[in-house]
Amino acid sequence: MTTSLSVIILAAGKGTRMQSAKPKVLQTLAGKSLLGHVLDTCHHLTVDDTIIVYGFGGEQVQTAITNQYAHLPITWVAQTEQLGTGHAVKVALAQLPKDGQSLILYGDVPLVSPHTLANLQTANTDGMSMLTLTINNPFGLGRIKRNENGKIEAIVEQKDASDNEQQIKEINSGIYCVDNALLHKYLPELSNDNAQQEYYLTDIVKMAVADGITITAIEPEHAFEIEGVNNRQQLASLERTWQSKIVQDLQIAGVQFADPTRVDIRGTLTAGQDVFVDVGVVFEGDCTLGDNVYIEAGCIIKNSNIGNACHLKPYCVVDHATIGAGVDIGPFANLRPDTVLSDNSKVGNFVEIKKSTIGNGSKVNHLSYVGDATVGNNVNIGAGVITCNYDGVNKSQTVIKDNAFVGSNCSLVAPVTIGDTAIIAAGSVITQNVDANALALGRARQVQKPNFQRPTKKLK
């Protein structure tokens, strides 16, 4: 019988040490909010309900997450007073089913993996499982105390630990999988009779042990999975740790990085074999690279697909574009959203393309702007050519058919169609359609005055 799974995410903390007007859980790591990482991770599992406990900046948190995760059913619960982790889970009880299990997670612990959470859920065979970690320096952290049979009997905080207990190296992460029936039983019984006058979630471990429940502990594959973020130094450190993990996985898959410490992947990057990535390259969103792609320094690639054997020269921006195989781009090219470059095309120096398709083997080499255009195969677009696609109110289309040649410094005033194998003379302003195989000139006639006397300055 399949057990239903709820997720409770504690996201009420202010994050005072971040020194920010933005709630801590909305701070970003690898281009995504901390809370967004947690939501993406837990929903790799089969989750029946997600409860987010919010507090400081609750309206900001709700707006940001609702806009980005509208597809997820989320229940929001306010924690109006921050009275400890036990209290934070307790305020969610009214929304929590009486049966099934719950994962208890934290909005500022962003990198726990789906694999770890799946193992944690599987490990809960008697009512409760927890995520622990064995580290060399556990100072300041709660220790996992076990009995002579190796079973968990308590969590001992640093300030309460004896000399022997302080030698324990297994620590509590605070992440649990608990039967909902136990949460409904134990959380109302929590006491705040302690120095901090807070309700500690760790007390449910003591209650479970008293009830004879065997608590299973598992450890994550990577220590960073349980690292939380409390200040900007920790955020920066975790960012580099995560970037290093992503880069290592890509290296194993066959990607070469000129310097693994000087690349940022703020999303998902899928790459083929024999890919080279130079320094200062940034990937954002979902990006795919084919085999033998070569990316030079300083490029920014966002939500784009790049085909086999493409070459991106330095400082190109590729944003929501689809690029075929064997395409040569840049340097300093700007491919804006809805750009499609077909196989073996070329886009050169300081070229901007927006919402346009460039056909097979076509070239836009220098200092040109192509917007709202369909360019056929084997077209040559000269330096300084622009498609005049906007009249101040409407955007209009330019169509350039196969084998056409557009000379340098031409303006194509849309809507306009250039026929197959047509030639547009350099410096022309084209306002009407051009037939196939025709030569079109749209420029003022040249006038020459021989022996022209140049103006001179008058002497004072």
For 156, residues 6+ apart whose C-beta sits below 8 A from its C-beta are 142, 143, 145, 165, 168
Separation CA 402–CA 345 (nearest Å): 13
Three-state DSSP class for 226? Answer: helix
Q: Is 118 helix (H, G, I), strand (E, B) or coil?
A: helix
- Whether residue 260 is preceded by a cis peptide bond, meaning omega within 30 degrees of 0, is no
Spot the catalytic one: 43, 311, 320, 366: 366
List the structure tokens of 152: 């968990």
Give which of 445, 401, 446, 447 is closest to 424, Cα–Cα. 401
The kind and range of the H/E element at 340 are strand 339-341
Distance between CA atoms of residues 397 and 401, nearest Å: 13
Nearest residue to 375 (alpha-carbon basis) of 394, 353, 390: 353
Q: Are 47 and 142 in contact (CB under 8 A)?
A: no
CA-wise closest residue to 18 among 236, 240, 244: 236
In the DSSP assignment, the letter for residue 457 is P
Positive or negative torsion for Cα 400, 406, 409, 410 = negative
Give 12-56 as a DSSP string: ----GGG--SS-GGGSEETTEEHHHHHHHHHTTS--SEEEEEE-T
366 a catalytic residue: yes
Distance CA(318)–CA(307), nearest Å, equals 13
- C-beta of residue 266 within 8 angstroms of C-beta of residue 242: no
321: left (phi over 0), alpha (psi -120 to 50) or beta: beta
The alpha carbon of 412 is separated from its chain's Cα centroid by a whole number of angstroms, namely 38
Please enumerate in sequence order all residues whose Cβ is within 8 A of that of 195, keeping only pairs 6 or more positions apart, or say none.
Answer: none
Q: Tell me the Ramachandran region of residue 94: left when phi exceeds 0, alpha when psi lies from -120 to 50, beta otherwise.
A: alpha
Per the structure block, which two tokens stand in for 319? 């944003």
For residues 356 and 379, is the Cβ–Cβ distance under 8 A?
A: no
Cis status, amide bond into 331, omega within 30 of 0: yes
Positions marked catalytic: 366
